[in-house]
Structure 1
Amino acid sequence: MANLYIKCLKSEKTECGAAHGQFLINSLSPGQGVTVGNLFRRVLLNDLGGTTISAVRIAGVTHEFSTIEGVREDILEILLNLKGIVIKGKIQEPQFGRLKVQEPSVITANLIELPPGLEIVNPQHYIATISTSNILEIEFKFEYGTGYKLASQTFQDKSEDFLQMDAIYMPIQKVDFKIENVYDNSTEITERLILDIWTNGSITPEDSIFEASQLIIELFRSIIENKFTNDINETENETSQIPIDPHTNIAIEELQLSVRAYNCLKRAQINTIGDLLEYSPEKLQELKNFGRKSADEVFITLKNKLGIILK
């Protein structure tokens, strides 16, 4: 991996602001392509964060099943349209923005007044259409996070009159990779990893690679810098030395014994194979109504079904 490098093969952007990038990582040793590709894919999809609209407050509206006079869309449709707005920027605490319209118009995302540090990637994204001079006023709550949170998890304070929204923080929409073998003049074989990344436009594919690499480095650095703990609890140490029999928790019903033998075992509170193995052959025959014939049946069944021989 001495000559390991990364190269951008393709970088493109769509009209809606989404971006796609293709990258080449070369000079990997055989087998490392899958490892590096899977690692990048999991970190890009799971650990990168973003800012989104987590809740809204609409003047005169108390629940999501309401309608607004003069507005073509109902509240549910407006909330669904708002989920498509892509926000660029990082914030430490929740921030608020607003939108106020008092004339017939088509409302798009560029009409939203944003707090400092935030930017709308798709300003022409459609929100609603208003056909009267009624006032439509919306307050937006912006939050930064990772992953995906359902509305029921993000909405806390009922008194604020905010309508909760499903919060999609993930800036990465899709990650794909493929591995190719490279044969040089010698007998040495190396691999090259081709990584495709699609984002919603709030982050470029190049920056997403950089951030993912930083997260991976910090993760493994914490492992390297962390000292191993040698203090082992004595009871845990003793427990770890006891071999665990895989048959211990199997119910005796699995042995499919005769009714007589089964009933005798159950009366003696022998419910599992582990309980049964605590009894010696002599002790088994001391059970009430458990004779030599029942004992032989148990010994043969244990041997044939589980390979356990009682001596």
Structure 2
Amino acid sequence: MDNISIKCIKSEKIKSGASYGQFVINSLSAGQGITVGNQLRRVLLGDLGGTAISAVRIAGVRHEFSTIPGVREDILEILLNLKGIVFKSQTKETQFGRLKIQGPTVVTADLIQLPTNLEIINPNNYIATISTANVLEIEFKFEYGTGYKLASQTFSDEVDSYLQLDTIFMPVQKVDFKIENVYDSTNNITERLFIDIWTNGSISPTEAIKSACQIIINLFKLLVENKETNENLELETKNSSISIEPYTNIAIEELQLSVRAYNCLKKAQINTVGDLLQYSPEKLQELKNFGRKSADEVFSTLKNKLGIILK
């Protein structure tokens, strides 16, 4: 236990600015691998914060089912494209940005005018195509948070002028871990924990695991010092209804499925990943107009984006 150590054994950049890192923690006592691995995974996925677009105001547009003259994409498609932009912020304050451009042109993320504390990780992210000389003007609201926030949970005095987005703040996209037993010359057993971390690029895997460790240390430090507050003692009943798994309430729009698969799920009142996980593969294929090809697309997307395998 005295020789416990952590080491980064693999680090690489992947498409769209995302990052991957693999770490190994050595010299854990028997049984500690699963404890440490589970704790780190939960904190990495649920407690690390990030900045994202939470609302937009588009000139001449009042609702998400509108269209803009001269723009190839409708508003829903533009909003989905905006959700793919990854930001790195030096502050946790709410910030605003602006995009104003005249066509014909292809609109990408690097054309957004940002405050000085904000940086775009994937500047080539596609937003829309303007095919005429029309002007596209968008105002953005950037917020810092943890986990995710559904548009239906967002209350704003500016709700009449801003379109609210389902917002994912999580900088860590996926975490896997595995444990190996190590035997010494006297046949004593220690464990070695391997952790794989994928981030959206706004934070490196090394920074992510350091931040997660610090969050865990701070939590248990409070327990050791026995600093209890009324907030810790008064558990709100609504918290019991919140899912532990951070992906459960993510809207299916975030999966970026094909139009056919998306429409079939929406018609069946499947609005979130949690709703989707209530269906077995067989039951899913019983949906009207939802064939084997659509089912394979859903299974593949759940596995690749969220690490979820339907049994």
> Normalising by structure 1, what TM-score?
0.72
Query: CA 1:111–1:29 in 2, change beyond 3 Å: closer, same or farther?
Result: same
- Structure 2: how far apart are the matches of 1:157 and 1:80? 24
**Pairs within 5 Å for 1:200-215:** 200-215=200-215
Deviation at 1:152, TM superposition (A): 1.4
**Pairs within 5 Å for 1:241-260:** none
Instruction: Name the SS of the counterpart of 2:35 in structure 1.
Output: helix
- Structure 2: how far apart are the matches of 1:213 and 1:84? 28
- Structure 2: how far apart are the matches of 1:36 and 1:177? 10
Moved more, 179-188 or 141-150: 179-188
Residue 304 of structure 1 is matched in structure 2 by none
Q: Deviations over 1:6-37 (max 9, x none)?
A: 01111011130111100000000000000000
Residue 139 of structure 2 is matched in structure 1 by 139
Deviation at 1:228, TM superposition (A): 8.1
Matched, 1:62 2:62: yes
Query: CA 1:135–1:155 in 2, change beyond 3 Å: closer, same or farther?
Result: farther
- Structure 1: how far apart are the matches of 2:5 and 2:158? 52
Contact 1:155/1:164 (<8 A) preserved: no
Residue 32 of structure 1 is matched in structure 2 by 32
- Structure 1: how far apart are the matches of 2:40 and 2:85? 26
Contact 1:25/1:193 (<8 A) preserved: yes
Residue 108 of structure 2 is matched in structure 1 by 108
Residue 197 of structure 1 is matched in structure 2 by 197
Question: Identity rate of aligned residues, in percent?
Answer: 71
Query: CA 1:209–1:227 in 2, change beyond 3 Å: closer, same or farther?
Result: closer
Residue 81 of structure 1 is matched in structure 2 by 81
Q: Deviations over 1:122-149 (max 9, x none)?
A: 1000000001111110000000000111
Query: CA 1:149–1:17 in 2, change beyond 3 Å: closer, same or farther?
Result: same
Letter in structure 2 aligned against 1:169: F
Aligned residues: 229
Deviation at 1:155, TM superposition (A): 4.1
Contact 1:106/1:130 (<8 A) preserved: yes
Residue 163 of structure 2 is matched in structure 1 by 163
- Structure 2: how far apart are the matches of 1:92 and 1:7? 30
Instruction: Name the SS of the counterpart of 1:16 in structure 2.
Output: helix
Deviation at 1:93, TM superposition (A): 2.1
Contact 1:55/1:155 (<8 A) preserved: no
Deviation at 1:103, TM superposition (A): 2.3
Residue 181 of structure 1 is matched in structure 2 by 181
Residue 129 of structure 2 is matched in structure 1 by 129
- Structure 2: how far apart are the matches of 1:187 and 1:159? 65
Residue 117 of structure 1 is matched in structure 2 by 117
Matched, 1:16 2:7: no
Contact 1:56/1:140 (<8 A) preserved: yes
- Structure 2: how far apart are the matches of 1:111 and 1:165? 20
Moved more, 154-163 or 31-40: 154-163
Residue 95 of structure 1 is matched in structure 2 by 95
- Structure 2: how far apart are the matches of 1:154 and 1:93? 17
Deviation at 1:92, TM superposition (A): 2.6
Deviation at 1:160, TM superposition (A): 5.2
> Normalising by structure 2, what TM-score?
0.72
Instruction: Name the SS of the counterpart of 1:208 in structure 2.
Output: helix
Letter in structure 2 aligned against 1:132: T
Structure 2 unaligned spans of 5+: 230-311
Letter in structure 2 aligned against 1:144: Y
Deviation at 1:157, TM superposition (A): 2.1
Contact 1:50/1:90 (<8 A) preserved: no
- Structure 2: how far apart are the matches of 1:203 and 1:26? 24
- Structure 2: how far apart are the matches of 1:185 and 1:60? 74
Instruction: Name the SS of the counterpart of 2:15 in structure 1.
Output: coil
Contact 1:172/1:198 (<8 A) preserved: yes
Runs of 4+ in 1 over 4 A off after TM superposition: none
Asked which structure has the greater CA Rg, the reply is: 1
- Structure 2: how far apart are the matches of 1:31 and 1:138? 53
Instruction: Name the SS of the counterpart of 2:122 in structure 1.
Output: coil
Residue 241 of structure 1 is matched in structure 2 by none
Letter in structure 1 aligned against 2:56: V
Contact 1:109/1:124 (<8 A) preserved: yes
Deviation at 1:225, TM superposition (A): 0.9
Residue 72 of structure 2 is matched in structure 1 by 72
Deviation at 1:159, TM superposition (A): 5.4
- Structure 1: how far apart are the matches of 2:189 and 2:175? 26
Deviation at 1:227, TM superposition (A): 5.9
Q: Deviations over 1:216-264 (max 9, x none)?
A: 00000000111689xxxxxxxxxxxxxxxxxxxxxxxxxxxxxxxxxxx
Contact 1:90/1:144 (<8 A) preserved: no
Deviation at 1:90, TM superposition (A): 4.1
Deviation at 1:206, TM superposition (A): 0.3
- Structure 2: how far apart are the matches of 1:14 and 1:131? 32
